[in-house]
Amino acid sequence: MPELNRLSPYFARTVLVLGAALLGMIALHSIIDPVGTAAHNQITLRSDFAVTVQQVGFGAFPLGAALFALGSAFSRKSLAGGLTLVAALVLTAVLVRLYGILEHGGLALNLRPLAGEFTLGALSLMALWFERLAERRRGAV
């Protein structure tokens, strides 16, 4: 299956760029407009410290992950690492979101982000699997 060897890095890079874009958008909203972003999610920030926590917790960490994912897209050797980070991050978010839904309710409001997180996680795992298969085939040749 030489097509897999040829196409898997492009698929992996596409997934990494999509993941970086999603994480970057989340990050920039929280960094640039932390109060508005929190309010959109029915959260009230009542102190300067709370605003900074919003910027760091919901801004800096996703931005760091986005930059890592984007950087990983430019090197064949780092594709698997970037995909692993994106998959771990978004699938952890899926698990925590499902726990929150079961514990507190709110399924209707969580369906859209849950679908996006699950889709990106599945694409990341698929791209990682393709990369592993392609690596094995390249090593066997």
* pLDDT tens-digit series, residues 5-62: 788 999 999 999 999 999 999 999 999 999 999 999 999 999 999 999 999 999 999 9
CB under 8 Å to 73, separation ≥6 — which residues?
A: 12, 13, 16, 17, 20, 79, 82
Lowest mean pLDDT among 46-50, 83-87, 107-111, 130-134: 130-134
Q: Which two tokens stand for residue 36?
A: 């508005």
Selected residue with higher pLDDT from 4 and 47? 47
pLDDT at position 141 over 60: no
Burial of 29 (0-12, 13-18, 19+ CB in 10 A): middle
Predicted TM-score of the model (pTM)? 0.90
Closest by CA position to 128, among listed 87, 95, 92, 90: 87
On average, the pLDDT of the chain sits at: 94
Domain residue limits, the chain: 2-140
Residue with token string 């960094």: 31
